[in-house]
Structure 1
Amino acid sequence: MATTKQDLGAKEKELIAIVGAGPVGALLALKLAKKGYKIDLFESRPDSRKTDIYQGKSINLALSDRGWRALQAVGIEQEIRQQAIPMYCRVMHDIDGNLTKQAYGTENQAIWSVSRSGINEQLITQAEKCPLIDINFSYRLTQLNFDDNTAVYLDENQQVVTRQSDIIFGADGAFSKVRRLMQELPKQRISYSLDYMPQSYIELTIAANEDGSHKLEKNALHIWPRKDFMLIALPNLDGSFTCTLFMNQEGDLSFNSLNSYQKVATFFQRYFADAMLLLENPVEDFLVKSASPLCLVHIYPWLVNEQVALIGDAAHAMVPFYGQGMNSGFEDCRVLSELVDENKGNWQAILQAYQHSRKVNCDAITELAQRNFVEMSDLAGDANFLLRKKIEAHFHQKHPKLWVPLYSMVTFSPDIPYSKALAIGDIQKNIMDEIMKMPGIEKNWQGDEVYNRMYQLASSKLELNL
């Protein structure tokens, strides 16, 4: 006899609606369904497995340890690894075409290049297999009654559909409809900001060689840092690279000012001469494509009536310069799942604890992501910056429990909260500022005097127990 939803005890638990079936919404559905909750999952767009909702964009993302940890519990980790490429280092391309390589971590530590559409579709396919998850595509949220959690949608035929649930999660991205409806509530004191960064971006492509191999080192993230703008490239399984050009939307050298074929061609030849030999129609693509904005979302509270909550980009959209947008959203799902167990299904306590835990940490990674644009676009090719990183890495090898580099705390240490990583990173920066002032540091950086001094400073200022 087939197992029914009633047999699985769905009636004994709250009905949960998730608005937004992107990677975070789909993962959240899987995690909560594993705990026996009946899930209604709504997506305003069509099924991307049947329709190209990404309009040809591959939109690569970097998946790191926080994301992998969140995926482990839903039985899809190995399947996603088969469609991902490990990147063990970043390779900086200077303006003359010289290369500098910097490892992301130690030994086999890597961040992984994944396709946003690919990972989303894998999660959706996994969710379809679960009898407790009902997926509804082309359902656009229009109204939400926060008193009784009744939501009104328009389906693909523009028919009005009304659904009621016990708990609602807004996982519908940086321009979340759930969040906008929360803000319109007359009696709620909600602090909110959506800030556009000066930079926007477009995607470009480096095609594979004729034999399907990669034209650049495959297991690396490539960066062309040019201070106020930069080009990056992430590898794909088919031998191509997805490239992203970040630069100011306005100004003397910007998307708006580069408005003719000659201006764009001159720009690429001057600043990305080596990449020009690899890119597929960069000038034509630049002129045809509209630059997409980068924005930051800050909102508090994340909850209404302990029944409606925001998660992922809907709560904390950030710029992509630390590669933690999806990872932090996946970590939201993991933390929430753990809180369900800790609070024995008491959703008022679960959601309050979720907000308390995640708000401070997501504020921290949002701040770090903003700062990292300077590191990637300017400092990554700077000799003093690279020397700092060498000294830090060497000291970490000598004293692994006393000093973990900030990047490693964020990317490879999921047990260290983002807020703690930010606080420790600021202390480390001050220590390194002092070390870099030592006379002759460029020549004597491997000397005992340097590391003895560093040990004294770190021992007195840092408290990190791994």
Structure 2
Amino acid sequence: MQTPHKIAVVGSGLVGTLLAIYLKRAGHTVDVYDRSPDIRTVEFSGRSINLVMSNRGWKALEDVGLAEEIRKIGIPVDKRGIHLQDGTLNYQAYGKEGEAIFSLSRGILNRKMVDLAEKEGVNFFFEHKIWDVNLATATLFEGDSEQGNWTELKYDKVFGADGAFSRIRHRMQRQSMFDYSQEFMKIGYKELYIPANADGSAKIDINSLHIWPRGNFMLMGLANLDNSFTCTLFMPIEGENSFAKIKDEASLVTFFDKYFPDTKEVIPDLVRDFFKNPTSYLAIMKCFPWTYEDKVALIGDSSHAIVPFYGQGMNAGFEDITILSEMMQKYGDDWKTIFKEYEISRKPNADAIAELSLRNFIEMSDLTADANFILQKKIEKWFSDKHPEKWMPLYSRVTFSLQPYSEALAIGDFQNEIMQEVLQMENIEQLWDSKEVENKILELLQD
């Protein structure tokens, strides 16, 4: 057990609340500040992408005995449902039999996490705006406005879990030797909605992540507990097929009739939802260092915001907590070493999942409809079933294992080089599950 400290967590999102539970379990007094109202009192809709929980997230929850509680509010998703433009629907399994990610509503999960943290004895201060922090003394400055009078809130440690536009990181950025980059994708997103049928049943399969891949844009859907679906349209902000081009009801209906004809029956309020819900933007944020002495640390999106195309944003943030907790157990009261080892361990992995997430947009929006890609995935699954000790597909490494993201990225690149050679083999479409292909892969693995 560590010496008890008075610790502030800024941000009551998913990472902030789980971190607060970990810190409380370690014997500390924990106060969580958030400038927004209590999420449990807010109607949550219009700009959300459903979350998916996979092994890294489950591990962080299991370590504090909360996994089963969260499973109750999730839906297992074991495959992609690929909707082609001609109306064909194909399914692509994610992993081996029994392996699934879990679809979770961000609002429902966040409310649940706040409830669980309060039950642990964590103190929440909603509608308390933190504008600044004194890094050397771990003092927060809170007030109604940025220019108004501020109250000093003194702590032993401060964690910035306040997201991609973190106020805590904003202060850290003003130090010398602090690296920071922010890159907005030229792609935005908008939430749409598939309701359940009148009898409560689902209009499409709830155990699939549904994708309508259309090249540089796509529609995606994940199930909710009531058999409805939260859908997200990802599309360029400007250009030929873009949000800028859809100005009115006629252009929207024409666009969906052409590219997503099979959604006509399942998205009844397309026009209302499209023009009511905001167009949101996607950014990748990287920085370093993530800590200041033994006083202040960044965690989750405040230190490594990524795009959502691998479903790993929350999982990566939860894994931050797992690694931080391991360092706390290893180094006891030596917080300077705890913070240093935490950031050294996590930084390369955060950079790797940022790269993987960016690449996965191309896979989801384009390659999932490509015959060569589908064949590659078939060969990989067949070979990995025969030689599980020699081959684990990249998606499984990222999603169904705890292998560091940086290792998964490097091995995935190596495996992809092998697969590109295999796909060049003569008559590969007919020979894909032959001894010849098996030997070729084994030979290339030795190189």
SS of the counterpart of 2:275?
helix
Query: Which residue number in structure 2 is paired with residue 463 of structure 1?
Result: none
Matched, 1:264 2:264: no
Q: Show CA shifts across 1:429-462 (max 9, x none).
A: 10000000000101111111011110111133xx
The one of 426, 430, 438 aligned to 1:451:
438
Q: Show CA shifts across 1:42-74 (max 9, x none).
A: 11111011233x355554101111100101122
> How far 1:388 moved relative to its partner?
0.2
Counterparts of residues 54-453 of structure 1 (less than 5 Å) = 54-57=44-47, 59-131=49-121, 133-154=122-143, 160-185=150-175, 188-414=176-402, 416-453=403-440
8 Å contact from structure 1 (residues 316, 362) kept in 2: yes
SS of the counterpart of 1:256?
helix
Q: Distance in 2 between matches of 1:252 and 1:412?
A: 37
Q: Distance in 1 between matches of 2:203 and 2:102?
A: 18
Q: Distance in 1 between matches of 2:331 and 2:111?
A: 31
> How far 1:149 moved relative to its partner?
1.3
8 Å contact from structure 2 (residues 46, 277) kept in 1: no
Q: Distance in 2 between matches of 1:235 and 1:55?
A: 15
The one of 23, 35, 52 aligned to 1:44:
35
8 Å contact from structure 2 (residues 135, 292) kept in 1: yes
Q: Distance in 2 between matches of 1:161 and 1:70?
A: 34
Q: Counterpart amino acid of 1:308?
A: V
Single out whichever of 283-292 and 451-460 deviates more from structure 2. Answer: 283-292
Q: Counterpart amino acid of 2:420?
A: D
> How far 1:40 moved relative to its partner?
1.4
Q: Counterpart amino acid of 1:31?
A: Y
8 Å contact from structure 1 (residues 225, 380) kept in 2: yes
8 Å contact from structure 1 (residues 259, 287) kept in 2: no
> How far 1:289 moved relative to its partner?
2.7
Q: Show CA shifts across 1:386-407 (max 9, x none).
A: 0000000011011101100000
Q: Distance in 2 between matches of 1:49 and 1:204?
A: 22
Q: Distance in 1 between matches of 2:42 and 2:144?
A: 16
Q: Distance in 2 between matches of 1:121 and 1:419?
A: 32
> How far 1:155 moved relative to its partner?
5.8
TM-score (normalised: structure 1)? 0.93
Q: Show CA shifts across 1:232-289 (max 9, x none).
A: 0000110100000000011122101211221111100000000122113213322333
The percent identity for this pair of structures is 47
Q: Distance in 1 between matches of 2:373 and 2:238?
A: 28
Q: Counterpart amino acid of 1:376?
A: M
Q: Distance in 1 between matches of 2:157 and 2:282?
A: 30
Q: Distance in 1 between matches of 2:100 and 2:429?
A: 28
SS of the counterpart of 1:299?
strand
> How far 1:299 moved relative to its partner?
0.6
Query: Which residue number in structure 2 is paired with residue 3 of structure 1?
Result: none
Q: Distance in 2 between matches of 1:44 and 1:368?
A: 32
SS of the counterpart of 1:181?
helix
Q: Distance in 1 between matches of 2:94 and 2:246?
A: 34
CA RMSD, aligned part only?
A: 1.5
Q: Distance in 2 between matches of 1:159 and 1:130?
A: 33
> How far 1:227 moved relative to its partner?
0.6
Q: Distance in 2 between matches of 1:123 and 1:199?
A: 30
Q: Distance in 2 between matches of 1:143 and 1:331?
A: 27
> How far 1:290 moved relative to its partner?
2.5
Q: Show CA shifts across 1:195-220 (max 9, x none).
A: 10011000000010111111001111
8 Å contact from structure 2 (residues 193, 273) kept in 1: no
SS of the counterpart of 1:223?
strand
Q: Distance in 2 between matches of 1:406 and 1:56?
A: 32
The one of 19, 23, 33 aligned to 1:32:
23
8 Å contact from structure 2 (residues 78, 93) kept in 1: yes
Q: Counterpart amino acid of 2:442?
A: Y
8 Å contact from structure 1 (residues 403, 458) kept in 2: no
> How far 1:21 moved relative to its partner?
0.8
Q: Counterpart amino acid of 2:255?
A: F
8 Å contact from structure 2 (residues 46, 278) kept in 1: no
> How far 1:345 moved relative to its partner?
2.7
The count of aligned residue pairs is 445
Q: Distance in 2 between matches of 1:25 and 1:368?
A: 24
8 Å contact from structure 2 (residues 130, 142) kept in 1: yes
